[in-house]
Structure 1
Amino acid sequence: MTTVKIDIVSDIACPWCAIGYARLEKAMEELKEEMEFTIEWHAFELNPDSSGNGEPILQALSRKYGRSPEEMQENQAHMMKIAAELGLNFSKLQERHTRNTFDAHRLVKWAGEQGKQTEMKMACFDAYFGHALNISDVDVLADCVEAIGLDSDEAREVLASDRYADTVREDEARYQQAGVSAVPAYIINQKYLVSGAQEPNTLIGAFREITSES
């Protein structure tokens, strides 16, 4: 069976990253008799500013894109519909605030060492998009850790230290230098780039084409 390695560059604050992974799961399920997939998550920060207490998301997006809050609300509602069809909880998507995700990325790295990197990422997505929780808050992150069956006390120790900080920064720098400026981005077999939250059929076609060239 062909092995396919997928490095996913994403941010926990990016709704399309959650949608993109749900679509990727469908593609991988469709191809499970043909290919074996390994996944590794890499950090990207949409909001690297860690100061302040965040800003209402519709207000922040309106300013960022130069569009009205009503337009951004419509855009978010569209994402909520897509997410619901994929079984994702985006019920509080429009109620969240902008948040810094650096510490969450550190815990994704830590969870990865215990074989639960994807589970940690999914727990963070659910906390932020499904419950509008402050994903930069230590207690919220500890609850995410507990939800996937890892030791929340150890997670708190990680957050109280600077463990994995350099790893996250190196991750971010590496992929920015490689030209990744938007997420999600998938690097297939460390060679091919697929950008955006592509539909499952698009991904299936890309994987088959890539593996036929290998």
Structure 2
Amino acid sequence: MSARIRIDVWSDVVCPWCYIGKRRLETALSRFEHAGDVVVRWHSFQLDPSIPAGHREPVQEMLAKKIGAPASQVRAMTHQVTQLADAEGLTYHLDRAISVNTRDAHRLAHLAAEHDLGTEMHERLLRAHLCDGEVVDEPETLIRLAAEVGVPADEAAEVLRTTKYSAEVDTDIRNARKIGINGVPFFLLNETYGLSGAQAPETILSALNKVHALAS
């Protein structure tokens, strides 16, 4: 009988490195002999929880203020990460990306996980923000994105009308702090082996093989 491997991933749905990390994880799993024994679970993390609910600002303007850099430097930074994304088959349009508070998106992701659609919902939210220029705190947009991956629209609407799954989001973030996670993506294999950042597929594959050997 093969050993079971659980990968817990902390990620934010507006994080350009998280989408790159997700693709690199998928590449590693495509090369992993025991991929059928791997379960991936997505956990909430907010890069900037201090953004007020409802506040929207172009990402490039937000970054310029945050790091105190001229617009030309921010464009160079986003161009670099766009090129890295392109190498993973992702087409970023960060010039159209809108910075928002991601709490509602994460609450919706927890609903999706209840329907075994956590990975699909996380994928759709990342693509919506980073590639499509969608505003991922807008209720109508979130309901539509949820429905696209198979989450019932009425359930998504109910979550957004209430505070449902707030406790789950808070637990994810609290657990991240306990582990010492201060940046994402972060991958935790079988609660013992951690990988921080958008690691190369070869690095993730090596970790998978080590963890599998230990679990066998």
TM-score range, shorter chain: over 0.9
After superposition, residues 1-214 of structure 1 pair within 5 angstroms as: 1-33=2-34, 36-48=37-49, 49-90=51-92, 92-214=93-215
- Deviation, 1:50, is 2.6
- Deviation, 1:20, is 0.1
Contact 1:104 1:135 in 2 (8 A): yes
Give aligned pairs, total: 213
- Cα distance in 2, alignment partners of residues 89 and 113 from structure 1: 29
Query: Counterpart of 1:193 in 2: which secondary structure?
Result: strand
- Deviation, 1:34, is 6.3
1:135–1:194 CA distance, 2 compared to 1 (3 A): same
Greater shift, 80-89 or 108-117, is seen at 80-89
Contact 1:4 1:35 in 2 (8 A): no
Stretches of structure 1 lacking an aligned partner (at least 5 in a row): none
Contact 1:106 1:165 in 2 (8 A): yes
Query: Counterpart of 1:93 in 2: which secondary structure?
Result: coil
Contact 2:100 2:136 in 1 (8 A): yes
Deviation string 1:125-177 (CA, Å, 9 cap, x unpaired) is: 11111111110110110111121122112210111111101111111112112
Q: Percent identity?
A: 31
- Cα distance in 2, alignment partners of residues 13 and 180 from structure 1: 17
Contact 1:2 1:35 in 2 (8 A): no
Moved over 4 A (4+): none
**Structure 1 length normalisation: TM-score?**
0.93
**Structure 2 length normalisation: TM-score?**
0.92
